[in-house]
Amino acid sequence: MTEWSEWSEAEAAAKWDSALTALPSYNLYQSYGWGEFKRRHGWTVRRGSIVVDGAREAMAQCLVREVPAVRITVVWVPGGPAGSAKGRRRLGQALRQHYPYCFFYLRANILEEDRAEERNGLTASGWVPSRAKVSQPVTFHLDLVPDEVTRRNALSGNWRHNLNRGEERGGTVKVWEPAQPLDSVYAVYSDMVRLKEIPPAVSLGELDALRRALGRSFTLAVALGADGSPCAVRGFGRIGTRAHDLIAGVSEAGRKIYANYHLTWQLLGLAREQGVLVYDMGGVDWERAAGVSNFKKGLGGRVVSVVGEWEWTNAGWLRWGMNLAIRFRRARL
């Protein structure tokens, strides 16, 4: 028997993260703070446990949108569920029982490392790989357990060379405190987006909301040039012993002094001091962002293919419509 046991708001605020980090496959995108951040985008946040035969097998933070007029419920599960493979597979069944009187569409971006048995198990439970993807199913994991000397030796020759240059002339690195305004920091990111002619992943307002939602779990570091103004920025969110890269940018002035290398290396040290053992550098896109991908590769991390985005629905036409909408949005961007 499979059940969905929903947590109350008060219970989730007090205990969600501690319970989440006790399970396998937890990550920032299933954290309480990330859910609170996503509320500003119009999502209803629902958190619950997947209970199979009386035992809690997994937990899922769900971003929900309901259209009562046409009886449609759409659920997006970023980074989850966390827990056992059995629990992940049963999420669709559990939520379907919770929403029995509607057309139901579920999409989950599963960050578990890709394995044949995982895919086979999902398929047997009624899941289908998403045709249109929101994110890349490949990332870099950095192991922060070794000491600094060992990690430095693992860098590529070019990365280590640029790090040496950055340490000589890459400015001063400081942690940006929660009370400090973000305008000058975001300007660095905005300039990078403009120069590369790419859509911004986050707005100034969203960055501020992210900082407030994650609180002490968010670290933003900035490289200051000779004139004292920001020339590079990088930030991560942390839960348990895992961290995820969330924002990075470098100005033209910062590029000339290799500030991004110096800043990134210092930030990884800060993460390690906070107890982070695995640092996720984020998606890899060799086709459209080769420079960024090579920068991440030079850090000596491990390329990881994840299970990625899968769907579960009781209406095939709804799957078709959702994938079409995602393709249209990506084409616009």
**pLDDT value of position 234:** 97
Average pLDDT rounded to a whole number, residues 296-306 = 93
pLDDT at 261 over 60: yes
Give domain status of residue 282, yes or no.
Answer: no
228 by DSSP, 3-state: which?
Answer: coil
The answer to whether residues 99 and 207 belong to one domain is no
Give domain status of residue 284, yes or no.
Answer: no
The answer to whether residues 151 and 263 belong to one domain is yes
The answer to whether residues 191 and 257 belong to one domain is yes
Among the listed residues 93, 80, 82, 13, the one whose alpha carbon sits nearest the alpha carbon of residue 53: 93
Domains: count for the chain: 2
CATH code, domain with 220: 3.40.630.30
Q: How confident is the model at residue 177 (pLDDT cuts 50, 70, 90)?
A: very high
The answer to whether residues 128 and 175 belong to one domain is no
Give domain status of residue 43, yes or no.
Answer: yes
pLDDT at 181 over 80: yes
Last residue of a domain, one of 257, 276, 295: 276
pLDDT at 332 over 70: no
Q: How confident is the model at residue 286 (pLDDT cuts 50, 70, 90)?
A: low
Q: How many CB atoms neighbour CB 206 within 10 A? A: 16
pLDDT at 148 over 80: yes
The answer to whether residues 181 and 62 belong to one domain is no
- For 143, phi and psi rounded to 5 degrees? -90, 115
Give domain status of residue 292, yes or no.
Answer: no
**pLDDT value of position 233:** 97
pLDDT at 201 over 70: yes
**pLDDT value of position 65:** 94
DSSP state of 60: E
Tokens of 17: 């993260």
**Do 140 and 284 meet the contact criterion of CB atoms below 8 Å apart?**
yes
The answer to whether residues 127 and 160 belong to one domain is no
Note the pTM of the prediction, 2 decimals.
0.94
**pLDDT value of position 284:** 73
Q: How far is CA 328 from the centre of its chain?
A: 22
**pLDDT value of position 260:** 95
Q: How confident is the model at residue 220 (pLDDT cuts 50, 70, 90)?
A: very high
How far apart are alpha carbons 158 and 255 in whole angstroms? 15
Could you read off the pLDDT of 118-132 as tens digits, one per residue?
Answer: 999 999 999 999 999
How far apart are alpha carbons 228 and 283 in whole angstroms? 31
pLDDT at 114 over 90: yes
Last residue of a domain, one of 276, 291, 323: 276
How far apart are alpha carbons 98 and 4 in whole angstroms? 7
**pLDDT value of position 197:** 81
* Better pLDDT: 307 or 135: 307
The answer to whether residues 128 and 154 belong to one domain is no
The answer to whether residues 108 and 194 belong to one domain is no
pLDDT at 291 over 80: no
**Do 75 and 45 meet the contact criterion of CB atoms below 8 Å apart?**
no
Give the structural domain span for 89.
Answer: 2-137+306-332
* Better pLDDT: 284 or 81: 81
143 by DSSP, 3-state: which?
Answer: strand
The answer to whether residues 87 and 182 belong to one domain is no
Q: How confident is the model at residue 249 (pLDDT cuts 50, 70, 90)?
A: very high
Q: How confident is the model at residue 333 (pLDDT cuts 50, 70, 90)?
A: low
CA angle (304 as vertex; 300, 307 as ends), nearest 5: 170
Give domain status of residue 162, yes or no.
Answer: yes
pLDDT at 287 over 70: no
Give domain status of residue 75, yes or no.
Answer: yes
How far apart are alpha carbons 113 and 122 in whole angstroms? 14
Give domain status of residue 300, yes or no.
Answer: no
CA angle (35 as vertex; 136, 140 as ends), nearest 5: 30
Give domain status of residue 215, yes or no.
Answer: yes
The answer to whether residues 191 and 272 belong to one domain is yes
Q: What is the mean pLDDT of the chain?
A: 93
The answer to whether residues 315 and 270 belong to one domain is no
Average pLDDT rounded to a whole number, residues 50-76 = 94
The answer to whether residues 154 and 126 belong to one domain is no
